[in-house]
């Protein structure tokens, strides 16, 4: 089945220690998104790629970076995690445009000690 | 700017009760409208969508109709089950972008 895969499902890191979350897709979609979701809140878009074009949200902290080396993979790098960065991180993909839905992965729950 | 308002939860119902979760939006142009569901500890799943006025999206007994005149997309189900307990997000598309605008989510709790 075509899908969006996130690894790992659970990630524990230490305060200030860089961490990378990964996302892969078999849907061959043009657009990949990274969201941060804190408890009982809506997902908050951090950035997205349309193919190789990177689009950062204005309020995304510089501490968050992303790479998309090819169509299938996208990475979220948190350079110096703080306690406030503990959250669920969701990857999603879509064909792009306003008509098409986004397909979400299962998420990676990040704990910062 | 574009925004969406969902009714606050939690919504608590007994099994087989009728469900309505209200969603209204403000948007430039004619957005597509989506409802997503999130079960505990999981990502979001598309529940249903509508892409033009008067369209009705439906899936798993849930329905929502695109009401352009009232800028609403209320989610309904005639008879809820315990397994419907989850958080529901209304999400219009953002004008001329590849992005969605998520509502705050409404938690549904269904008891036997």
Confidence of residue A18 (pLDDT cuts 50, 70, 90): very high
- pLDDT for position B2: 83
pLDDT over threshold 90, residue B51: yes
CA pair distance A43, A69, nearest whole angstrom: 24
Smallest CA–CA distance from B42 into chain A, residue? A106
**Percent of chain B beyond pLDDT 90?**
81
What pLDDT band is residue B74 in, cutting at 50, 70 and 90? very high
Contact residues, A window 35-74, toward B, CB-based 8 Å cutoff: 40-43, 45, 48, 50
Distance separating alpha carbons of residues B87 and A37, to the nearest angstrom = 13
For B13-23, what is each residue's pLDDT tens digit? 999 999 999 99
Chain B interface includes A104 (CB < 8 A): yes
Query: Are the beta carbons of B48 and B64 closer than 8 angstroms?
Result: yes
What's the confidence (pLDDT) of residue A40?
A: 86
Best CA proximity match to B69, nearest among B56, B93, B53 = B53
Is pLDDT of A15 > 70?
Answer: yes
Q: Which residue has the tokens 């307990």?
A: B85
A39 CA to chain B: closest CA distance, Å? 10
Q: Distance from B109 to chain A by nearest Cα, in Å?
A: 14
Q: Which one of A6, A98, A103 would you mutate to disrupt binding with B, by most B Cβ within 10 Å of its Cβ?
A: A98
**Local structure of residue A55 (DSSP, 8 states):** E
Three-state DSSP string of A73-96? EEEEEECCCCHHHCEEEEEEEECC
How many Å separate Cα A66 from the centre of its chain?
Answer: 8
Rounded to whole angstroms, the Cα distance separating B17 from B7 reads 18
Residue among A31, A42, A56 with most chain B CBs within 10 A, to mutate: A42
- The pLDDT value given to residue A45: 97
3-state SS class at B83:
helix
pLDDT band at A2 (very low <50, low <70, confident <90, very high): low
For residue B46, the chain A residues in CB contact (below 8 A) are 101-103
Instruction: Tell me if A42 and B31 make a contact (CB, 8 A cut-off).
Output: no
Q: How many CA atoms lie within 13 A of B67 on its CB side?
A: 14
Q: Tell whether A97 lies on the interface with B, counting CB pairs under 8 A.
A: yes
Question: Is A11 a residue whose pLDDT tops 90?
Answer: yes
Q: How many residues belong to chain B?
A: 112
Query: What is the per-residue pLDDT across A25-83, written as a single tens digit (0 to 9) for each?
Result: 999 999 999 999 998 899 999 999 999 999 999 999 999 999 999 999 999 999 999 99
Q: Are strands B106-111 and B11-14 parallel, antiparallel or unpaired?
A: parallel
Q: What's the whole-number mean pLDDT along residues A93-103?
A: 91
The answer to whether B108 touches B85, Cβ cutoff 8 Å, is: yes
């Amino acid at each position: 089945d075509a899908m969006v895969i996130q690894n790992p499902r659970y990630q524990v890191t230490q305060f200030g220690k860089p961490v990378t979350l990964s996302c892969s897709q078999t849907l061959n979609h043009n657009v990949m998104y990274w969201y941060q979701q804190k408890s009982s809140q809506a997902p908050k878009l951090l950035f997205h790629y349309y193919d190789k074009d990177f689009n950062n949200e204005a309020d995304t902290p510089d501490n968050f970076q992303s790479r998309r080396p090819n169509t299938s993979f996208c990475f979220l790098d948190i350079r110096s995690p703080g306690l406030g960065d503990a959250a669920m991180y969701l990857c999603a993909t879509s064909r792009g445009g306003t008509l098409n839905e986004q397909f979400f992965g299962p998420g990676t729950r990040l704990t910062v000690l | 700017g574009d925004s969406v308002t969902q009714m606050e939860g939690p919504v608590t119902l007994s099994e087989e009760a009728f469900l309505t979760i209200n969603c209204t939006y403000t948007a430039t142009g004619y957005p597509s409208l989506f409802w997503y569901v999130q079960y505990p500890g999981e990502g979001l799943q598309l529940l249903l969508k509508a892409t033009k006025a008067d369209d009705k999206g439906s899936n798993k007994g849930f329905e929502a109709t695109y009401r352009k005149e009232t800028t609403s997309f209320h989610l309904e189900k005639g008879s809820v089950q315990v397994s419907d307990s989850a958080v529901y997000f209304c999400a219009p598309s953002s004008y001329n972008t590849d992005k969605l605008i998520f509502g705050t989510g409404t938690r549904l709790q269904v008891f036997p």
